[in-house]
Amino acid sequence: MSYILNTQQADQVLGALAQTYGVYAPKRFANQGRYSATDCIRYDKVTRASEIVWQVKSDYPAKEVINPIQQAIFYFTEDEYRASKCKEQPILIFARPCDINAQKIQAKIYAGNGGFTDMYYERMRERVKFVLMDCNGGDDTCFCVSMGANTVEESDYAAAVRFSENGMEVQVVDPELEPYFAGCPESAFTPAFVTENELKVTIPDLEDKEVRLALKKHPMWQEYNARCVSCGACTVACSTCTCFTTRDVIYGDNPEVGERRRVTASCQIAGFDQMAGQREFRATAGDRMRYKVLHKFHDYKARFGDRHMCVGCGRCTHRCPELISLSATINKVNAAVEEIKAGMGKV
């Protein structure tokens, strides 16, 4: 069933949902942006529809709700490891198709890879229902259509919404959400999907092993040694990046009590691959960029088969302090691949 709600009704419904669910959506954090007097838009708990930022894409992805930047995984008391507990409350996440598709990608790693299911991911993910936010086209860094991440199936969401200045239209799919909309005016709303982005990316053809090995040695990566500052902002903003590290913390001045934390890690930051007493395998920004880009556009798909590890959300481009564009990088990869293939007589 679909409904049309004015702003007051939308706030009331969100308020009621927030009584049962932890409702997470993109929210504006005033003056927390990257430049002075700019805002940051990231996921947080909301209790009113008017708190939700729908006009523009969030700076940070929905993954933060399911995989926080840091979380305690064990508490230590002397010689005891006690796994951290998790709230039982169900969760509703308002997300665009890119972010919903990103969770399918994260699940392949966290809840399947090698036959191991990560308890900390799974216990969050199984409580999550998505509310699809009708995407109004994103911005000039988006290329979801090129990545096939512009649409989702009806089975991927519990409800779909289209916000406007006057309120929101909703299609309720999950019967558990129906009671919250009882008495609201009905409509014929169904979600629409972006069918074309301003930005289009051609996915590089990296099937040929020899071409791939040559690409890894191509001088194009060295350009990033001068440009990339290895800050990791791209991977934190990435909708799909999953990497983390563990860090033990001692509480205050009592060395017998503490916790083991899982903290977001980045393959772009020096030391990501460094073992104790040994040199880094990827010692330059160019090596690390090559590693990331090939994971996104070849390695993930080679392992899991279904799709690439990029949903074209453009957040990495958006957040890069050095203005490195992923789509421009992919264009460079395409040019390098053509050059390599021509050199090998494989065109």
Partner 1 sequence: MNNPVQPYPCKILGVKRESEHEWTFRVACDARPQHGQFMQLSIPMIGEAPISVSAQGDGWLEFTIRNVGKVTNVIFEKTAGDTLFLRGPYGKGWPIEQFQGKHMVVITGGTGLAPVRSMLNAFAADPGYVKDVTLICGFKNEEGIVFHNELEAWKSQFQTIYALDNDAKEDWRTGMVTAFVKEIPFADWGDDYAVVVVGPPPMMKFTGLELVKCGAKVENIWMSFERKMSCAIGKCGHCRIDEVYVCLDGPVFPYAVARDLVD
Binding residues for partner 1, rule: CB under 8 A, are 73-74, 76, 79, 81, 83, 109-110, 113-114, 116-119, 121-123, 209, 213, 216, 242-248, 250, 255, 258, 260, 265, 267, 272-278, 281-282, 287, 291, 294-295, 298-300, 302-303
CB of 218 to partner 1, least distance (A): 12
Q: In what order do the strands lie in the sheet with 2-6?
A: 40-45, 22-29, 91-95, 128-133, 159-164, 167-172, 2-6, 186-187
How far apart are alpha carbons 60 and 101 in whole angstroms? 15
Question: By C-beta, is 277 or 345 nearer to partner 1?
Answer: 277
Least distance (Å) between residue 282 CB and partner 1: 6
Least Cβ distance, residue 124 to partner 1 (angstroms): 11
- Give the full edge-to-edge strand order of the sheet including 70-77: 80-83, 70-77, 257-264, 244-250
From the CB of residue 57, how many other CB atoms can be counted at a distance below 10 Å? Answer: 23
- Buried-exposed string 310-331: b where 16+ CB fall within 10 A, e elsewhere: bbbbbbbbbbbeeebbbbebbe
CB burial string 144-157: b at 16+ within 10 A, e below: bbbbebbbbeeebb
Helix (H, G, I), strand (E, B) or coil at 234: helix
Question: Which one, 27 or 108, has the nearer CB to partner 1?
Answer: 108
Q: How far is the CB of 116 from partner 1 (least distance, A)?
A: 4
**CB closer to partner 1 out of 109 and 184:** 109
Q: Which is nearer to partner 1, 83 or 192 (CB)?
A: 83
Closest approach of partner 1 to the CB of residue 293, in Å: 13
Min dist CB 292 to partner 1, Å, is 11
The CA–CA distances, whole Å, from 265 to 67, 245, 250 equal 12, 6, 20
CB within 8 Å of 344: residues ≥ 6 apart: 210, 211, 214
**Smallest separation (angstroms) from partner 1 to the CB of 306:** 13
- When the beta carbons of 140 and 248 are compared against partner 1, the nearer one is 248
Complex with partner 1: residue 114 or 219, whichever CB lies closer: 114
CB-CB contact of 257 with 76 (8 Å): yes
We find the least distance from the C-beta atom of residue 223 to partner 1, in angstroms, to be 18
CB of 91 to partner 1, least distance (A): 17
- Return the number of the residue (186 or 248) whose C-beta is nearest partner 1: 248
Q: Judged by CB, which is closer to partner 1: 117, or 187?
A: 117
327: part of which helix (H) or strand (E)?
A: helix 326-344
d(CA 88, CA 110): 20
Which residue type does 333 have?
Answer: V
| Helix (H) or strand (E) segment spanning residue 328 | helix 326-344
DSSP string, 78-121: TTEEEEPP-----EEEEE-HHHHHHHHHHHHHHTTGGG---HHH
Closer by beta carbon to partner 1, 136 or else 225: 225
> CB of 330 within 8 A of CB of 341?
no
